[in-house]
Amino acid sequence: MDTKKRVVFIVNPISGTQSKKSVVEKIEKYADGETLDIRIVPTQYAGHANQIASECVQEGVDIVVAVGGDGTINEVARALVHTPVTLGIIPCGSGNGLARHLRIPMDVKKAIETINRGVVETIDYGKINDIPYFCTCGVGFDAFISMKFAQAGKRGISSYIENTLREGLRYEPETYEIENEDGSTHYKAFLITCANASQYGNNFYIAPKASLCDGLMDVIIMEPFTMLDAPAISFQMINGTLDQNSKIKTLRCKRLKIHRSKPGFIHFDGDPVMAEADLTVELIGKGLNVIIGSEEEKTLANVNMWQNVIDIFNDLKPSIMDDLATHNRRLQVLNRELLRKLKKNTYK
């Protein structure tokens, strides 16, 4: 009797920056052929990953592995919720937020070894206006930047940070009404993120206390801040202490409504889409079986994180840094003028 598990690898050939030919070669080389019956299927168009995964469910496949970025993972996972089929991930995107939270290695060979081990956990997922998400969704600046990032066409963390720094200098926060089981409150916010997982990706922790298995989403409200606040916010996102910042308000709930003055962009797992003014976000508990990595991989990721951050900022375009320097000089001039006026008034 054949006891091999049937595994389908769904490969997005255009996600991320690395060659998918080499990824496929590694799958064929390192996937455990003694315990796994392997099939590799490339996607051919947007939405194809979801279609292939749905067919796998009908066929009774045991594991479907998403080989790509957060968008590919979202497509595949949507087809697998509330089924016995398990999601595996080989992260090949620019952020890889869910994969990092699940401690899946960024190295392809090691990620395949995680599939071979096959340790499974059942996690929660969310919906924003009935669109499933598995990592984060939100409105405000992060949705705006997701739209800019998608329009830019250029992938990679350096491109993402360039857009964030440039647009962050002039983004205007909006006023939102947030309604949950505890009542409703108005906030003027830079962004509102509903987090199932702890990070956007690239080890930038928007919700450091978030859990994939607690039946609740962490709602992060980032209030307006100045450029003087930005370095502390960036540092706290990297070291996982953003929840300690005074500009951050955190709610934990299963369901909430967000009211805004007009339609605009939202994002789900980094993908932007236009949506109406009123939004409903909810958390569905224990809806997806996933293969997870080991605690050792989490430790290795933390060791490499700081060097990655240094490399990212070293790669930023000089024009971005010039924008920041100019803005900083303006703030310094303004501060000096304020101090001069204060001294003048003090000694009158």
Instruction: Please tell me whether residues 105 and 160 are part of one structural domain.
Output: no
Range name among 1-5, 34-38, 235-239 with the lowest pLDDT average: 1-5
Q: What is the pLDDT of residue 303?
A: 47
Q: Residue 228 — very low, low, confident or very high, per pLDDT cuts 50/70/90? A: confident
Q: What is the pLDDT of residue 162?
A: 65
Check residues 160 and 254 and name the one with the higher pLDDT: 254
Euclidean distance between CA atoms 271 and 8, whole angstroms: 24
End position of a domain, from candidates 91, 118, 145: 118
8 A C-beta contact, residue 111 and residue 105: yes
8 A C-beta contact, residue 261 and residue 277: yes
Instruction: Please tell me whether residues 201 and 274 are part of one structural domain.
Output: yes
Check residues 171 and 268 and name the one with the higher pLDDT: 268
Instruction: Please tell me whether residues 140 and 274 are part of one structural domain.
Output: yes
pTM, full prediction = 0.85
At 16, which CATH number?
Answer: 3.40.50.10330
Instruction: Please tell me whether residues 110 and 15 are part of one structural domain.
Output: yes
Euclidean distance between CA atoms 150 and 142, whole angstroms: 12
Q: What domain range is 22 assigned to?
A: 5-118
Instruction: Please tell me whether residues 185 and 208 are part of one structural domain.
Output: yes
Euclidean distance between CA atoms 34 and 55, whole angstroms: 24
With respect to residue 85, please indicate whether it lies within any of the assigned structural domains: yes
Q: Per-residue pLDDT tens for 192-206?
A: 999 999 999 888 999
Q: Is the pLDDT of residue 280 over 90?
A: yes
End position of a domain, from candidates 260, 285, 310: 285
Q: What is the mean pLDDT of residues 91-115?
A: 94
Check residues 29 and 158 and name the one with the higher pLDDT: 29
Q: What is the DSSP letter of 277?
A: S
End position of a domain, from candidates 244, 266, 285: 285
| Counted domains in the chain | 2
